[in-house]
Amino acid sequence: MADYKIVLLKGDGIGPEIVNQAVKVLDKASEKFNFTVEYDEALLGGCAIDATGVPLPDETVAKCKAADSVLLGAVGGPKWDNQPGNNRPEAGLLGIRGALGLFANLRPAVIFEPLKKASPIKDEIIGGSLDIMIVRELTGGIYFGKRGRTEVDGQPAAWDTEQYSVPEVERIARVAFDLAMKRNKKLTSVDKANVLESSRLWRETVTRISKEYPEVELNYMYVDNCAMQLVRNPGQFDVIVTSNIFGDILSDEASMISGSIGMLASASLSESKSGLYEPIHGSAPDIAGLGIANPLATILSVAMMLRYSLDQPKAADAIEAAVTKVLENNRTPDIYEEGTNKVTCEQMGDLVCEAL
Ligand code: NAI
Ligand code: MG
């Protein structure tokens, strides 16, 4: 029996191309670090609609639940844009997150040294390097709260509710503190406690959990200030923990600091060891099938999988180092710079394997 069972959800558009490269790299890492991986594939998104009529077949949920981790490419595309909302590819994405209880979303915003010029932030503001980890609560808050339509003074009106319970905040806080312990022992909790009652409970709870982590330096920041500080002085952050909606916005902002959507990985974690790993970008229908997609976000998602779900931190470090090395001279078109070799999706996968 293999050490790890991984389910591949290749999905739509560039999904299959980029996942295939990431699998090559995982295989190479398994040889080098002496572990074995067994793969299974399942359908999610548009390809699942075509084959079964629904974006998230029961079989996919069952396979993912039984796996040590899931690697997802991306879903969606114009072909399915006229499906009704609850039968769109993206509904499959929300469905699998819910089914696996993925309450913690980890999004690194990293600048790879060879790509420093691609960042819209000036060198002198970035300073030496940039490596921020945003921990976003993923299954609570206003995106899941009660909502509705009403009437105010005879005019149509609508409302949404932001609610967090103490256990919900405790578990996301623990994920963030545990991460901070593995990194630079610095955590920023982001809220709007000057206005929102849910944010005041969030802050009280994070403060209480911090007593379990005396080594971690904790500070608080209002979300509007955080949005500003991310572009004014991003180097001040290490780990950021925040609610679903604030994390949605801040992680997109932070991802742009690093310059390219094709470079950014993510992890979604549950109470179990298993997680779902995926690039932050979509299915890029405009370049699907051309063989020019950047596979590095998916390859770096495999590195996160090795670190957070499979307890192979050395293999994770080695993949990240290999990516940095390959980037010195080789680029897919989305990150191309004069003086480097322009390579295809597949060549990029091969180069990372060689560097490993
Ligand atoms: P997108 O991220 O797919 O593409 C935005 C732009 O970035 C495009 O020009 C694309 O070519 C480029 N790009 C993205 N990933 C790239 C890569 N690895 N290498 C090189 N270039 C890359 O976002 P868009 O166009 O808004 O959405 C396309 C489809 O993807 C839609 O159906 C959308 O719903 C879906 N989507 C799926 C996500 C997921 O599966 N997690 C996330 C975001 C969007
Ligand atoms: Mg978003």
Question: Considering only CA atoms, which residue is closest to atom 34 of ligand 1?
Answer: 76
- Please name which of 73, 11, 36, 47 lies closest in space to residue 276, comparing C-alpha atoms: 73
Written as six digits, the tokens of 22 are 């990431």
pTM: 0.93
Distances (CA, A) of 116 to 120, 122, 237, 257, 324: 9, 9, 18, 10, 12
- pLDDT for position 318: 98
Query: pLDDT tens track of the chain, all 356 residues?
Result: 899 999 999 999 999 999 999 999 999 999 999 999 999 999 999 999 999 999 999 999 999 999 999 999 999 999 999 988 789 999 999 899 989 999 999 999 998 888 888 788 888 888 777 899 999 999 999 988 999 999 999 999 999 999 999 999 999 999 999 999 999 999 999 999 999 999 999 999 999 999 999 999 999 999 999 999 999 999 999 999 999 999 999 998 988 887 778 999 999 999 998 999 999 999 999 999 999 999 999 999 999 999 999 999 999 999 999 999 999 999 999 999 999 999 999 999 999 999 99
Return the ligand number nearest the Cα of 266: 1
Whether CATH 3.90.550.10 fits 120-256: no
- Please name which of 23, 13, 10, 25 lies closest in space to residue 293, comparing C-alpha atoms: 13
- This complex has an ipTM of 0.98
- pLDDT for position 257: 85
276 within 8 A of 93, measured Cβ to Cβ: no
Is the beta carbon of 197 within 6 A of some atom in ligand 1? no
Give me the architecture of the 1-111+258-356 domain, per CATH: 3-Layer(aba) Sandwich (3.40)
Q: Do domains 1-111+258-356 and 120-256 have the same CATH topology?
A: yes
Beta bridge partners of 188: 219, 240
Ligand 1 atom nearest the C-alpha of 90 is: 34
**Rounded CA gap, 24 and 337, in Å?**
26
- The residue ranges of every structural domain in the chain are 1-111+258-356, 120-256
325 within 8 A of 355, measured Cβ to Cβ: yes
Beta bridge partners of 190: 221, 242
Is the beta carbon of 287 within 6 A of some atom in ligand 1? yes
Return the ligand number nearest the Cα of 334: 1
